[in-house]
Amino acid sequence: MSFSTLVNTFANNILPIILLGSAGFALGKVLHVDARGLGRVVFYVFSPTLIFDLMIENQLELSEAAGVIGFTIATVLLVGLLTYVLGKLLKVERAALISVLITTMFANTGNYGLPLVLFAFGDDALRYAAIYFVTTTLLFYSLGVLLASLGHMNFRDALLGLFRVPTLYAVILALLVNALHFELPLALNRAVELASGGTIPVMLVLLGLQMTQVEFSKNLRALQLSVSMRLLIAPVLGLLLAGLFGLEGAARQGAMTQAAMPSMVSATVLAAEYHLDTRLIAAIVFVSTLISPFTLTPLLVFLGR
């Protein structure tokens, strides 16, 4: 793995994403654009639309997608379990531990992972990366929302709160459209394509905007735990689980890259919505995103062999 290979891999695949995120950062610093308002637009409009579009457009058969779905669920749950155990051993307080779990279990597989997989491995790997993205997003907006809610309410109220998440309804609607072989009217189809096509750049701009609001938490133990688990342990677990679920070729490239991504930017949106430790979560997202090129670049070279 030569230095020039690493540099070229970074410049061609990761740098374009950093540049767009930097544009959002500049907007936040110069024009003071409201990140929370844009975050709510992503949460309620763009993210559900993107998932709906991916589900109705993806041509993978269920049998092809099953391995990636199983890999995704296993990776998320196993990373969460290990993080919980370590958090307890390190005596991380409950509120901080919930924030750590959310930022460790759920990676930035959308606005960072999808374009990265596309740039690095092309459309074939992107199809599998999209399955990972949809699966992890469903888990995020169900299990993740449940975890976030449990920080401040009982299990019953947290469970009922899931029905206020628009992404779940987007998935249900997409399943119905696929099952009934319903063809969307041209106007609606074009609207969906426009919104979904703009989701990734909007999310990258949002990431940059949110980075302007980072105030580092004094809870360095929780910060270090989450970043280490997300960038170091999660890729190793992904490597082990990929073989277990029989992922090879493009499926392995797409799924393993997604498993190694930094913390999901939507965690900051969730933190604001459910009154979690926004300072800690924003710091984790910022640090893991900032460090991620150093872990992702060699991984891309390894997977591209």
Give the residue-averaged pLDDT of 68-88: 96
Residue 58 phi, psi (nearest 5): -70, 125
Q: How far apart are CA 114 and CA 128, in angstroms?
A: 10
pTM as predicted: 0.84
CATH second-level architecture of 3-303? Up-down Bundle (1.20)
Q: What is the pLDDT of residue 42?
A: 85
Residue pair 257/231 in contact (Cβ under 8 Å)? The answer is no
Query: In percent, how much of the chain has pLDDT > 70?
Result: 91
Q: What is the pLDDT of residue 67?
A: 93
pLDDT at 262 over 90: yes
Residue 99 CA, distance from chain mean position? 15
**Residue 86, CA atoms < 13 Å, CB-side half-sphere:** 18
pLDDT at 163 over 80: no
DSSP 3-state helix, strand, coil percentages of the chain (rounded to 5)?
A: 85, 0, 15
Q: What are the boundaries of each domain within the chain?
A: 3-303
Residue 243: both structure tokens together: 């073989």
pLDDT-derived band at 276 (thresholds 50, 70, 90) equals confident
